[in-house]
Structure formats: C-alpha cells, structure tokens
Chains A and B, each alone.
Chain A
Amino acid sequence: MFDLLPHLLNGLTLGLLFALIALGFMLIVGLMEQINLAHGSLFALGAYVAMQLTGPRPPLPADLAKLWLALPLGWRYAATLVIAPVIVGLIGMLIEFCMRRTYGKDPLYGLLLTFGAAMVIEELIRLVWGTRDYVLQVPSAINGGFLFGDLIWSSYRFYAAGIAAGIIALVWVLIEKTSFGATVKAGAHDSEIVRALGINLSRLRLLVFVFGTMLAAIAGIIVAPIWGIRPHMGVDAVIPAFLVIVLGGVGSFWGAVVAGLLVGLCVGLAGAYASEWSLLSMYILLVAVVTFRARGLWGKKSVLEV
C-alpha cells in the first residue's frame, strides 16, 4: 500500500491541475453553452507570455526593462501571474467579438470558429518563439524538493496543486454565490427574459468569455514548469480539458472537478504500471463512463446535445 501512496498523491496533484486546466473551458461551456477550442492555445500563450516576462529579455523599452529586471524574481513572478492573463484576456476579447455572430446558431459554428482561432494562435506562437522548448523560471521559494518518508517530493507540485484548489474554490464562489453568476446562468438559460429585465447580456457574455480565457492563461503559467513550454502544449491541454468536461457532464461544476481528479488518478496510476499507455487510460475511462451514462457523471440537459 505504501508503494502506491506516491502514485496516488501524484495522481491527485495531477488531477487538481487537470481540473484547473478545464476550469476556464467549463466556465464558457457551462455559462454560455459555447465550446472554446482555442482554450488550449490560450493556455499555451499564457505560458509563453509569462516566460517572456520573467525571462532575461522582457518586451519593454530599455530603461523599463532594466528597472523590471532589478526586481527580485519572486516579485516579477507574482506580477506576471496578473499581467500575462490580462494580455491573454485581450486576445480572448477579440475572439468573443468574432464569436458574437454565432450566438443563437448551431453551437458547431462557435466550435469551428475557435478551432480556426486555435490554429491562428498556434501558428503565431511558432512564428514568434519558434519550435524550441522553453523553461519558465519560478522563485526558489516554491522550487526544489523536500524529503519525506525516504522519498524526494517536488515542492512545486504541491504549490501548483494548492493554487489550483484555491482558484477552483474562488470560481465556485463566483458562479454559485454571487449575483453575477446567477445573472449569467440565467442568461444562458433564457436570454430573452434576461434582456427584458434590462441586463446588458452581451457585456456579461464578454466578461465571462474573457474571464474564461484568463483562467486558461493562469492554468498555463501554473502548469508550464511541470510540462515545459512548447508549441504542442496547447493541444496537450485542450483535449484533457474537453475530456474532463464531457466526463463530468456539461453544466456541472463539481462534475468537472471530480472528473479532473479521476482523470489525474487514472493517468497517475496508469503511469506507475504502464507509463507508455498512461495517456490512453483517460480515453478508456471516458468511453467506459459515457457508454453507460449518456451525459457524463452529472451532466444536465444542454443545447450542445442536439
């Protein structure tokens, strides 16, 4: 049993990260009934922007760059955690402006539009940063490892899992416990009535979309030190995100979180016994669940089904 413990812990931390990756995607699916396939590319973009900002050559005028580089890495990292998502959020805003035209039509159009956006962003990343791998520097306080029960544990994994849990809790409060969340959910359910009540629905949707893309960027920054930064990381993220949502059921917050943890455990444990096949395990998990439960674990009826 004790042999299994590291794998279980590894799987749980991985699961929290999967849930974090899926969070922004889930927000947009759950509140707007739109599938944002550009989620993975925005996730990657967040990581690249953060790497550029914390790296030795920030994209700033020379004087400012000197000032910025004089700051300790911890400060720069903390500031980047805010600045990079804002930059990515602006891109998200652009996508939403385009996506507006597809509201009320078959959700397939939104999906295809964001697939195109994903291609464009990925190609832009390749143009700007090339195809090589990068590393995101993190402050030494959360880097390194510690010894526990004869094993070396990576501190960063626990930091990342902690942050993920915190952000998940925050988002839950926002959509379940605030009037903002209630209005947006009502808007997804019956947009005509919500408009008739005098609420500016298009601004609300813009906010939700931008928030979702910012969450994608944050997830990218948090996950980057573990996965590394390369052009393919977007695809590596969007598929698990999509999978977690379908497994948990569209429209269910806790479904997505539980699904994230399940996928993490599944990949972690499979990685322990047959590392070659660990990624396959999550697809098999999905097929097994969706074969017997049409709407995933706790899915609700949604326009995305027809």
Chain B
Amino acid sequence: MMANSTTSSDAARLVTPTMLVLWLVLATVPLWITRIGLYPYLGIEILIWSLYALAFNLVLGTAGLPSFGHGAYFGIGAYAFGLCQFDIVANLWVCLAAAAVVAGIAGALVALFISHRRGIYYAFMTIAFGQIFWTLAIKSHSVTGGEDGLLKISRLPADFGLVSFDLTDNVAFYYFVLAVFAVGTAILWRLVHSPYGRVVAAIRQSEVRAAHLGYNVWLYKASVFTLSAALSGFSGGLFAMAQLAAFPDVMSLHQSGYVVMMTLVGGGLVSFWGPVIGVFLFLTARDVIGALTNAWMLYFGLLFMAIVLFRPEGIAGALSAAVQQHSINALRRRGTSAMRLLVGGGR
C-alpha cells in the first residue's frame, strides 16, 4: 500500500524531494505565522504531534496493528524527560534519550504480552495497558504529581560542545523541533522502506503468509511496537519541553483516540505523510474552529465520520486519487486508442 504513493526511486533515497520541500516550507513558518493570526507555539505542537503520529503509524499503518493506547508511551516519555531532568542530570540529550528508552521499555513489556494477539484482542489489550499506565500516572502522586502533573520542567539548552543554543524562546525551540523532525522523518522513511519495513508491511497483509515464508512474525510485531513506543516517548519528551510540564491527560483513552483519528483522517493507511496532514488539520481546526465555537469536537467528529464513510483512505488517499485521475484524464485527451484501452476509457 505504501508503494502506491511512492515511486520506487524515492523509496531508495535518504531524502526525497517531497521531504525537502516540506522541510523548507516548515522552516519559513515562524516568518509568517503571526501575520495570519496564529502563533509559533502551534507550529511546535504540530511538529511534535506529527512526529508522534508518524511513530504511531509505524504500528497502525505499516504493521496494520490496531493500537488504541499509544498515548501511554507519549505520556511516559514526557514524565521520563521531567524526572530525568529533576533527579538524574539536567542535560537535554540525556533526558531525551531517557524519554525514548523508558517509553521503549514500557512498550517492549507490553509487546511481550500482546504480540501473539490479533484484531480485537490486540486492540483491547493495548487499551487495557494504556489504562493501566494512565491510572498509575494519576495515582502515583509522589512520582508524577497525580492529576496536577509534573510541573516546572525547563527547556534545557541544546549543547553541541562548541556552541549551545538557548531554547526558551518559542521560535528557537521551533527550529530545534524542526531539526529533530527532519532527522526523524528521514530515519522513519528509511525504516519503512528498508527490508525490515517490507517484512512488517507483509505481515500487515497476511500474518500467515509471512510466517510461512519463514519470518518470525512475533519478533517483527514486538519490535515494531517497541520502536514505535520509543519514538512516541521521544516525542513525549519534546512535548514536556514545549508545555514546560507533563500531564496525565495525554495518556487518557480520549487522547489515544485522537492520534488514531489524526492518522486516519490524514490518510496514514495509504501514505507515509498522511499522519502529518492529519495532525496539521486537527490542531489547526482545534485552534481556528475552537476560537469560534466551544463545540469544535462536534464538527470534527462529524468530519471524521464522513471521512470514514466516504474516504476511508483519508485526505492523502483522496489527493493521490485526484492526481491519478488527472493524469488519466490528460492521457485520455491526447491519447491514442491503445492508450484509451489501457486506462479502460476506450468504450
């Protein structure tokens, strides 16, 4: 499915033209975002959630595993970032690594239990573990601060040995997150199009077939879940920096549901970039419609229902279908009868 929207030459690249254009456009955002009535913090949020949704889509889109408790790993990463900063060492790189590692361990632990399961049982086991982590976060007041959250997390400076950048300003932090996002997307792109990613996609199509071809399905399912959890935790660490705090709210079932919604609305099932489109739409709609009416979730819910019903492949799917249709139409206009036959329009 992934290959539908990608030409084979792009799949082999480290950095694709789309990626480059996206990064460049994103790099200009702080220059104009305040002029259209929005603010740089929204850009930060969109980038962090995009990274999170891309990590999540590794499980949902690439592996086809319905995980509905992914907020847990995002939240664990945020807490790990804060606690590392308070109790171990206040170094940005160590704390971000801690966020990824702790969330990865939690993900690996869950993967041990769920990787033999499929479908509804898989889905519900992920919900159950998500709820377990969420309850733990709320009830362990002494560690996580309970419902009040872990406050006073600071944006540590990005220290590169020779130079060190202060990230307390939102624009500076935006560029830091953009750099991380760029590296993250490049790595994820390579991962999805690597032999490993191909096997995972094969498991999505048929677990039985992949197993008969000699692949250790359990190991692939467990490892992709762990990877996704670690990267979600990493994004969670960034989010803790953005918010200057870590709250249990992102771990709740609702928030876990939102990331599923964003991924699907954008078209994560058919396109690598789907989750990014979905996050952009969701967070912008939240701010723009949310400023007009309190009931913006009502409208977004209706939009989501409409997309599931009429465009289940999401916005990215609809776009690529439109592009395809356009090129077919162009072929028809100037095509020979043989070409018409080829595209099925010759009748």
User: Contacts A242-B127, A284-B132: A113 and B308 contacting too (C-beta < 8 A)?
Assistant: yes
Q: Does A204 contact B (CB under 8 A)?
A: no
Q: Does A226 contact B (CB under 8 A)?
A: no
Instruction: Determine chain B's interface SS by DSSP, over half rule.
Output: helix
Q: Does A192 contact B (CB under 8 A)?
A: no
Which of B16-24, B271-279, B295-303, B322-330 is near enough to bind chain A?
Answer: B295-303
A85 CB to nearest B CB, Å? 23
B305 CB to nearest A CB, Å? 4
Which of B5-13, B96-104, B110-118, B192-200 is near enough to bind chain A?
Answer: B110-118
User: Contacts A115-B257, A287-B113: A108 and B301 contacting too (C-beta < 8 A)?
Assistant: no
Q: Does A290 contact B (CB under 8 A)?
A: yes
Contacts of B94-137 to chain A: CB distance below 8 A: 113, 116-121, 123-125, 127-129, 131-132, 135-136
Q: Does A65 contact B (CB under 8 A)?
A: no
Q: Does A246 contact B (CB under 8 A)?
A: yes
Q: Does B309 contact A (CB under 8 A)?
A: yes
* Bound form: Cα–Cα A239–B260 in Å: 17
Identify A305's interface contact among B118, B131, B136, B294, CB under 8 A.
B118
Q: How many A-B residue pairs have CB under 8 A?
A: 108
Docked-complex contact B119 and A98, CB < 8 angstroms: no
Contact with A along B278-312 (1 / 0, CB 8 A): 00000000000000001101101110110011001
Identify A276's interface contact among B118, B124, B139, CB under 8 A.
B139
* Bound form: Cα–Cα A69–B123 in Å: 47
Q: Does A60 contact B (CB under 8 A)?
A: no
Q: Does A254 contact B (CB under 8 A)?
A: no
User: Contacts A102-B309, A109-B308: A239 and B127 contacting too (C-beta < 8 A)?
Assistant: yes
Total B residues in contact with A, Cβ cutoff 8 Å: 37
* Bound form: Cα–Cα A116–B302 in Å: 7
Docked-complex contact A120 and B66, CB < 8 angstroms: no
CB neighbours (8 Å) of B135 from chain A are: 277, 279-280, 283
Docked-complex contact A127 and B121, CB < 8 angstroms: no
B194 CB to nearest A CB, Å? 26
* Bound form: Cα–Cα A294–B119 in Å: 11
Q: Does A216 contact B (CB under 8 A)?
A: no
User: Contacts A115-B257, A127-B298: A283 and B128 contacting too (C-beta < 8 A)?
Assistant: yes
Docked-complex contact B120 and A246, CB < 8 angstroms: yes
Q: Does B254 contact A (CB under 8 A)?
A: yes
Q: Does B253 contact A (CB under 8 A)?
A: yes
Docked-complex contact B297 and A123, CB < 8 angstroms: yes
Q: Does A67 contact B (CB under 8 A)?
A: no
Docked-complex contact B305 and A98, CB < 8 angstroms: yes
CB neighbours (8 Å) of A294 from chain B are: 116-117, 121
Docked-complex contact A112 and B308, CB < 8 angstroms: yes
Docked-complex contact A239 and B131, CB < 8 angstroms: yes
CB neighbours (8 Å) of A286 from chain B are: 124-125, 128
A123, A235, A276 — most chain B CB neighbours (10 Å) = A123
CB neighbours (8 Å) of B294 from chain A are: 127
Contact with A along B121-160 (1 / 0, CB 8 A): 1011101110110011001000000000000000000000
Docked-complex contact B66 and A108, CB < 8 angstroms: yes
Q: Does A157 contact B (CB under 8 A)?
A: no
* Bound form: Cα–Cα A296–B120 in Å: 11
CB neighbours (8 Å) of A35 from chain B are: 120
* Bound form: Cα–Cα A122–B257 in Å: 14
Identify B118's interface contact among A101, A108, A239, A306, CB under 8 A.
A306
Which residue of chain A lies nearest to B258 when distances are taken between CB atoms in the complex? A119
* Bound form: Cα–Cα A242–B120 in Å: 10
CB neighbours (8 Å) of B139 from chain A are: 276-277, 280
* Bound form: Cα–Cα A284–B116 in Å: 18
What would be 11 A-B contacts, judged by CB atoms less than 8 Å apart?
Answer: A112-B260, A116-B302, A116-B308, A120-B298, A123-B295, A123-B297, A242-B127, A250-B120, A279-B135, A280-B131, A294-B116
- A residues near B, CB below 8 A? 35, 98, 101-102, 105, 107-109, 111-113, 115-117, 119-120, 122-124, 126-127, 235, 239, 242-243, 246, 250, 276-277, 279-280, 283-284, 286-287, 290-291, 294-296, 302, 304-306
The 7 closest A-B pairs by CB, nearest first: A119-B301, A116-B305, A305-B119, A123-B298, A120-B301, A304-B120, A116-B304
